Structure 1
Amino acid sequence: MSSSRIAGGVSLPDRGASSSSSKSGARGGVLSRVTSSISQSPVVYQGKRVACDAAFVAKKLLKSTGKAAWIAGTTFLVLVVPLIIEMDRDAQFTELELQQASLLGTPPSASSGQ
């Protein structure tokens, strides 16, 4: 076992000089070969490519959906909300006129009586 000396007077063993790594080297070699052959297989490559394409499409779809939601929301605020407010104001005005007419005792409109 060799050692390397660093500043401060501490000596550390070399990384490659471990006795346990030489025993497991044969198993690690087989495992690494199997892992590399699986990770380089066409099936894994196709799976990664399909997953990447699906993520890209999902991102684009989410982005365009957000833009459409923004357009629909601002259009609603600019066009529909003022219309709703005006219709509510008109309904309140009509209701007020009916209340005043009933308090003053004016006869109902001629079209409803005949």
Structure 2
Amino acid sequence: MAARKSSKDGVLSRVSSSISESPIVYKGKRVASDAGFVAKKLLKSTGKAAWIAGTTFLILVVPLIIEMDREAQFNELELQQASLLGAPAVAAPLK
């Protein structure tokens, strides 16, 4: 019975080694490896692009938003002061 089991192991071993050495399996492994490499490069470049976009937004757009908010508050304050002093409220000109 032990001899029979070892002959089955031999057949399975031969079949699995012939399948793993198949050109189709080799090409499949190579394609998977290439796909992994491309995915890694894509993620790396996407991360760099996200970093550049984020820092550019912080440096250029956030100060602009803050300044526009200050200007809107200043215009609102002028309108409030004008109404307290009795002058007719004039809508601020649109820029």
| TM score, norm. by length of structure 2 | 0.89
Q: Unpaired runs of 5+ in structure 2?
A: 91-95
1:107 CA drift (Å): 3.2
User: Greater share of strand residues, 1 or 2?
Assistant: 1
| TM score, norm. by length of structure 1 | 0.75
> Partners of 2:84 and 2:74 in 1: how far apart?
15
SS of equivalent residue, structure 1 residue 24: helix
Q: Unpaired runs of 5+ in structure 1?
A: 1-18, 110-114
1:67 CA drift (Å): 0.1
Q: Does 1:86 align with 2:85?
A: no
1:108 CA drift (Å): 4.5
User: Greater share of helix residues, 1 or 2?
Assistant: 2
RMSD: 1.3
Find the counterpart in structure 1 of residue 82 from structure 2.
101
Distance change >3 Å, CA 29–CA 108, structure 1 → 2: closer
> Partners of 1:70 and 1:57 in 2: how far apart?
20
How many residues are aligned here? 90
Identity percentage of aligned residues:
77
8 Å contact from structure 2 (residues 79, 89) kept in 1 = no
Find the counterpart in structure 2 of residue 62 from structure 1.
43
> Partners of 1:79 and 1:23 in 2: how far apart?
77
Find the counterpart in structure 1 of residue 24 from structure 2.
43
Runs of 4+ more than 4 Å apart: none
Find the counterpart in structure 2 of residue 7 from structure 1.
none
1:44 CA drift (Å): 0.4
Q: Does 1:27 align with 2:1?
A: no
> Partners of 2:70 and 2:88 in 1: how far apart?
25
